[in-house]
Structure formats: C-alpha cells, structure tokens
C-alpha cells in the first residue's frame, strides 16, 4: 500500500500536477491552461480527472452579471462537473475560486521543435460582451507544450474550448484578464 501511494505521489510530481487536481487513471481528463490576455504568456494550468468517459465535451456557463459583484461558472455538461468558477467585480477585481490552484508554467514541459500544431478549430464557451477575439494568438503560447500535443494526438478532431476571464469590468484593467483554454482526452 505504501509503495502504491509513493508511486502515485511521484507520478503527480513528474506530471507537474498535484493529487488534488488530477486523477491519473481517470477515463476522462481535461487540460486547463491559463494565458495572460495582454502579453499572451502561458502562466500555468492543471489536469482535471473525471471517473466517466463521454463522447461529447460541451461546456455550459452560468453567468451573474456584475451589478457590483458577479460570477461565472463553467460546467462540463455531460458529467455535470465544474471546470471553472470565478467572481467578477465592477470597478474591482474578482478571482478564480475553482480550481483552487494551478501548477506554474515551469512545471509544464515544452517540445523542442518549431512546428506549430493546430486543433480542428476553436470554440468560444463564454463571451458576454460579444468581443471580437483572436484565439490563435493565445494558442501559440501553449501549442508547444508536451501535454497539449498529447491531448491533441489523443483527440485530434477536437475543437479547443476558449474562455476570456475578465475578473475586473467597468473601469477594469485588461492586465487582470486571462484566457482559459480547455482540451479533452
């Protein structure tokens, strides 16, 4: 038993994810990545594990418009599981409340190559202001990650799910905003 726990702990370290965020033997895994909106710098991510496999991967959102305080929640519809929760403040700064922690960018390995990998497309899962968004720019920040390439190889026809989280609105500062990117395998 101790050997098995030690193995799972070491695998979590090697994968760059904490045991809170990943189920290593889960039939379904969702890779969540965070990219800064103004600099398009990859800042970190996690892998969420789910005990049931689904053919489809639909993300629904629950949005509470910020009169003063609002929120957004993204759900993996087929499993009724939370993927993201965050608060939004008018003339203030909200925060991501789920997942509680992301692994830093330094814990993700990059491939040593200059080829660019593209998904079969991008899907906007939440855009309450109907902004014109260019998904390719933040995609360039993550497409060289080993995990991204593994997820694309395992599910090559998937559309990458994109979400621009704006925890500060009104007189909000775009420097507080970031992209959230999801891939499934």
The structure tokens listed for 166 are 């704006």
Residues 27 and 83: their CA atoms lie apart, in Å, by: 16
Per the prediction, the chain carries an average pLDDT of 86
Does pLDDT of 99 surpass 50? yes
Per residue in 24-36, pLDDT (tens digit) is: 567 899 999 999 9
Torsion of CA 13, 16, 18, 22, to 10 degrees: -110
Name the residue with tokens 């891939």.
183
- Domain residue ranges in the chain: 20-184
- Percentage of the chain modeled with pLDDT above 90: 69
Write a three-state SS string for the chain.
Answer: CHHHHHHHHHHHHHHCCCCCCCCCCCCEEEEEEEEECCCCCEEEEEEEEECCCCCCCCEEEEEECCCCEEEEEEEECCCCEEEEEEEEEECCCCCEEECCCCEEHHHCCECCCCCCCCCCCEEEEECCCCCCCCCHHHHHHHCCEHHHHHHHHHCCCCCEEEEEECCEECCCCHHHCEEEEEEEC
Does pLDDT of 98 surpass 70? yes
């Amino acid at each position: 038993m101790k050997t098995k726990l030690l193995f799972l702990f070491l695998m979590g370290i090697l994968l760059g994810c904490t045991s809170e965020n990943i189920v290593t033997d889960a039939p379904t895994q969702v890779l969540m990545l965070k990219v800064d909106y103004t600099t398009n710098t990859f800042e970190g991510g996690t892998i969420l594990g789910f005990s049931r496999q689904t053919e489809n991967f639909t993300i629904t959102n629950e949005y509470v418009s910020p009169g003063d305080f609002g929120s957004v929640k993204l759900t993996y519809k087929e499993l009724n599981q939370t993927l993201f929760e965050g608060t939004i403040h008018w003339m203030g700064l909200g925060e991501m409340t789920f997942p509680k922690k992301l692994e830093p960018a330094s814990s993700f390995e990059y491939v040593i190559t200059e080829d660019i990998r593209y998904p079969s497309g991008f899907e906007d899962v939440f855009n309450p202001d109907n902004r014109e968004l260019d998904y390719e720019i933040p995609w360039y920040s993550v497409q060289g990650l080993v995990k991204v390439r593994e997820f694309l190889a395992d599910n090559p026809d998937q559309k990458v799910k994109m979400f621009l989280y704006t925890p500060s609105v009104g007189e909000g500062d775009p420097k507080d905003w970031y992209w959230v990117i999801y891939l499934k395998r």
